[in-house]
Amino acid sequence: MSETERTFVMVKPDGVQRGLIGEVVSRFEERGLKMVAGKFMQIDEDLAHEHYGEHEGKPFFEGLVDFITSGPVFAMVWEGQDATRQVRKMMGQTDPAESAPGTIRGDFGLDLGRNVIHGSDHEDPGANEREIDLFFDDEELVDYERIDETWLYE
């Protein structure tokens, strides 16, 4: 059985401007994932470089940094069984044009550079914990039980 884990998720500036925070949060809530942290914030240049460090040097890097710092984002931590991989599945492919309908990017995006949401890479071990640490202090993560947990997990 998969382990309970925490993963970092963010509604990007396009998603915020388009009024999609509630929609994104609803999807994860309804799936049974538990929000354990949330922060409405503006990403500065340094944080953008650190967060997207793996893409430094790629042709789209500067555009990506400009975009992610262009307006507020809603950063979150979601907890649940196999949370990182399940969130990625719900997000769809990196390119919204290749994302299946029913996924967040497939339902709300059309362009690679405006893909609404970020989620930790489940194929990069430790990415979830690294990104959570980058955006949140330990005391901003809240431990609690959701009332439906006994009905979500066997």
Is the CB of residue 132 less than 8 Å from the CB of residue 5?
A: no
Nearer to Mg ion, 10 or 20 (CB): 10
The one segment of 15-23, 84-92, 107-115, 116-124 that binds Mg ion by CB under 5 A: 116-124
Indicate if 118 belongs to the active site: yes
Is the CB of residue 51 less than 8 Å from the CB of residue 68?
A: yes
The amino acid present at 146, given as its one-letter code, is: R
Based on the shown chain and the rule CB under 6 A, indicate whether residue 134 belongs to the binding site for ligand DAT: no
> 3-class DSSP state for residue 75?
strand
Residues numbered 8-47 forming contacts with ligand DAT, rule: CB under 6 A = none
Q: What H or E segment, with its residue span, contains residue 26?
A: helix 21-31
**Residues making contact with ligand DAT (CB under 6 A):** 55, 60, 64, 94, 112-113, 115, 118, 121
Name the residues annotated as catalytic.
Answer: 118
